[in-house]
């Protein structure tokens, strides 16, 4: 065995032997509440990442998305949108390693503290454990193994810790792309630990609908001309949206679905609703958040106009009721993400997780990614996707978890991909491949 191959093999064993250090770091990450909305924990998380990457020789820069780009009156987002870029120059081609640092808010139904890791055998339960703070822990473990065991790297890693992927109006990766801050070659860890070749994904937008009535004493609410109940006045709109939801669900995409699953279909969801203050008062305001997931074949402008037309028509017959809408989140679809680095990344995933080449299948998803903005802004199509997602991981649900073996496997996969001596025949960035 050559010295380079021996170093890579030793580093893979070192990862397995030292995974508890990654678990400890993951526990600290989960303890920082970065739930979006509102996204108030981004500064604190950037500080924690600076602490973790400094011993690995990275220099860091905080890049804040200007408030004018993401702030919406009465919108859900609050606090600085602090993105962290960590780089380490070594004269090699740069490979970006992307993570979104936000999680969804903890939904009702958690049986454990969502901001602390709860261990259940090999399971690590906590908010963001799989999506996607566990990925951060795995990649830092891989980089530490390479440094400790002297693995020569083919790439200089650039770590991209980005904000507002969970349906934000102006995700951090979009802003970095617009500022020309991204390398051409990026690994995105907002994906799956399965034997998957990514085919792309839907886009989404979130629309805030605010329906205004008039507040009066509840005892006066039944008198003609007295007050206007915003909740009751919104019922025609809610019914019309349910009808539209059924229509939208009939629109299927040409994206290949996951194995054994039906065709991927567009979605309209009534995602959040809030109104009223007390039993003694006629409610003057109802706020409704709509989530629309649209296929790459659909146009955002048409999907938005369809919903707004239903809103206008539904409230037109209710005298005195007024309505306003605001776009509070938007992720573009990601289409045709294949590229020259995919065969080597697939081989690295096989190396880390034990997949054979024939295990891999190509499929897309109705879930969404902020890398549609990267494609649109930069014109680069290739998006490499991996991660810790699996169908049973309760992602975005109570009891979200990842496993210790999956953290080890992802770290070994990334270590292989970054290593200079791993499958050089598949590396398009070698001088002989570029000539």
Are residue 217 and residue 327 in the same domain, yes or no? yes
Same domain as 207, residue 320: yes
Q: Are residues 208 and 189 in the same domain?
A: no
Give the range of the structural domain holding residue 269, as residue numbers without chain letter. Answer: 203-331
Check which CATH number belongs to the domain holding 252 and give it: 3.30.70.360
- Pair (150, 98) in one structural domain: yes
- The rounded distance, in Å, linking the Cα atoms of 20 and 402 is 14
- Shared domain check, 266 and 231: yes
Q: What is the pLDDT of residue 365?
A: 95
Distance from C-alpha of 187 to C-alpha of 192, rounded to nearest angstrom: 12
Q: Is the pLDDT of residue 162 over 50?
A: yes
Give me the chain's average pLDDT, please.
95
Claim to verify: residue 179 and residue 210 sit in the same structural domain: no
309-317 average pLDDT score: 89
**pLDDT band at 435, cuts 50/70/90?**
very low
Q: Cα–Cα distance between 290 and 309 in angstroms, integer?
A: 14
411-435 average pLDDT score? 89
Helices (H), 150-192: 172-178
For residues 185 and 213, state if they share a domain.
no
Q: Do 224 and 173 belong together in one domain?
A: no
Same domain, 189 and 268: no
Number of domains in the chain: 2
Closest CA to 97 of 146, 139, 132: 139
CA angle 393–399–404, rounded 5-degree value: 55
Q: pTM score, two decimals?
A: 0.95
d(CA 5, CA 108): 49
Predicted confidence at residue 218, as pLDDT, reads 72
| Percentage with pLDDT > 70 across the chain | 96
In a domain, 25, yes or no: yes
Q: pLDDT, tens digit, for every residue of 128-145?
A: 999 999 999 999 999 999
Average pLDDT of span 115-138: 97
Cβ neighbour number for residue 59 with a 10 Å cutoff: 12
Average pLDDT over residues 73-91: 96
Note the pLDDT tens digit of each residue in 264-287.
999 999 999 999 988 888 899 999
229 and 175 in a single domain? The answer is: no
Q: Give the pairing type, strands 156-162 and 94-100.
A: parallel
- How many other C-beta atoms can be found within 10 angstroms of the C-beta atom of residue 28? 15
């Amino acid at each position: 065995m050559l010295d380079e191959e021996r170093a890579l093999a030793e580093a893979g064993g070192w990862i397995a032997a030292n995974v508890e250090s990654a678990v400890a770091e993951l526990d600290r990450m989960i303890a920082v509440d970065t739930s979006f909305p509102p996204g108030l924990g981004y500064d604190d998380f950037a500080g924690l990442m600076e602490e973790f990457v400094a011993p690995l020789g990275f220099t860091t820069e905080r890049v804040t998305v200007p408030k004018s780009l993401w702030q919406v009156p009465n919108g859900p987002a609050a606090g600085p949108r602090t993105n962290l870029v960590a780089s380490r120059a070594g004269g090699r081609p740069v490979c970006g390693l992307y993570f979104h640092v936000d999680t969804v808010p903890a939904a009702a139904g958690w049986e454990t503290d969502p901001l602390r890791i709860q261990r259940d055998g090999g399971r690590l339960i906590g908010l963001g454990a799989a999506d996607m703070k566990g990925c951060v822990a795995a990649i830092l473990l891989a980089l530490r193994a390479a440094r400790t065991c002297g693995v020569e790297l083919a790439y200089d890693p650039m770590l991209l810790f980005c904000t507002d992927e969970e349906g934000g109006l102006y995700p951090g990766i979009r802003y970095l792309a617009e500022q020309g801050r991204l390398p051409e070659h990026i690994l995105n860890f907002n994906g799956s630990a399965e034997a998957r070749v990514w085919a792309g994904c839907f886009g989404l937008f979130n629309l805030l609908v605010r329906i205004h009535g008039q507040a009066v004493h509840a005892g006066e609410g039944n008198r003609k001309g007295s007050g206007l109940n915003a909740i009751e006045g919104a019922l025609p709109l809610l019914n019309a949206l349910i009808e539209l939801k059924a229509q939208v669900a009939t629109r299927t995409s040409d994206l290949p679905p996951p194995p054994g699953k039906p065709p991927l279909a567009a979605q309209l969801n009534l995602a959040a609703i809030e109104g009223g203050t007390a039993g003694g008062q006629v409610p003057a305001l109802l706020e409704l958040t709509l989530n629309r997931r649209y296929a790459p074949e659909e146009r955002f402008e048409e999907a938005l106009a369809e919903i707004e037309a239903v809103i206008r028509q539904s409230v037109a017959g209710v005298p005195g009721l007024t309505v306003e809408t605001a776009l509070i989140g938007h992720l573009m679809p990601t289409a045709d993400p294949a590229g020259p680095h995919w065969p080597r990344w697939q081989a690295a995933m096989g190396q880390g997780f034990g997949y054979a080449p024939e295990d891999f299948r190509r499929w897309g998803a109705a879930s969404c990614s902020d890398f549609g903005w990267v494609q649109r802004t930069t014109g680069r199509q290739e998006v490499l996707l991996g991660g810790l997602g699996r169908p049973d991981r309760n992602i975005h649900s109570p009891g979200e978890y990842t496993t210790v073996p999956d953290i080890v496997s992802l770290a070994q996969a990334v270590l292989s991909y970054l290593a200079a001596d791993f499958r050089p025949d598949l590396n398009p960035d070698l001088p002989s491949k570029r000539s």
